Structure 1
């Protein structure tokens, strides 16, 4: 009979004793309303990684959920992480869930027929990072 240390079927993730980090895992969970002008130019920052620049292993990872409750505005959520810079357009009355890894920045830009109008929505953030302090 083979043990987990030699059998990937039994143990598809590493069986190394150091699989779980010795440093504390910090969780960031937030739910917040979104409101930004529908002018297609105003960038509303949601998250910016701490400065000075930290190593990739210290950057947060997790899930972002955005619900667009606007009547006419499209919210574009732009995520800058290990995958690069990726825009996610969310049309009015729609939603999206995005997985992020090594998150550096996240912002929204709203666009709609009336630049004096505001887009609205709800943002839920569930991020984790390892504390190296």
Structure 2
């Protein structure tokens, strides 16, 4: 049985409330329950933090024992050399995910410190971006 983890970065705990025109009205907890039911043959763990160091610690913790990591580092995607380095230092493949199309947003969101070390990047498909990432591992 595949073992995956979804790791979400800052402000993604506000999904369902935050800018629903961009992120939708479904909470991540509601979405996660749907996904776990749909992919019941896959173990899907979840972690969210607004703190960069906690995200790095979690990557180190799971980066040698999971089959895949689905990472939405949110704003840290565009600023965190540390998260990029953490991905480079682990063995578990990482798929970078974004709910919105970051290239259709502000210029600073067009650069990612995650992408060069990721297995792939999925963006712009709303919460379905996570499901596409799960499918890439199975």
**The structure with more radius of gyration:** 1
Larger strand percent: 1
Task: Please indicate the TM-score interval, normalised by the length of the shorter structure.
Answer: under 0.3
Scaled by the length of structure 2, the TM-score of the pair is 0.25
Q: If each structure's helix is expressed as a fraction of its own residues, which one has the higher value?
A: 2
TM-score w.r.t. the length of structure 1 is 0.26
Higher RCO (CA < 8 A, seq sep 6+)? 1
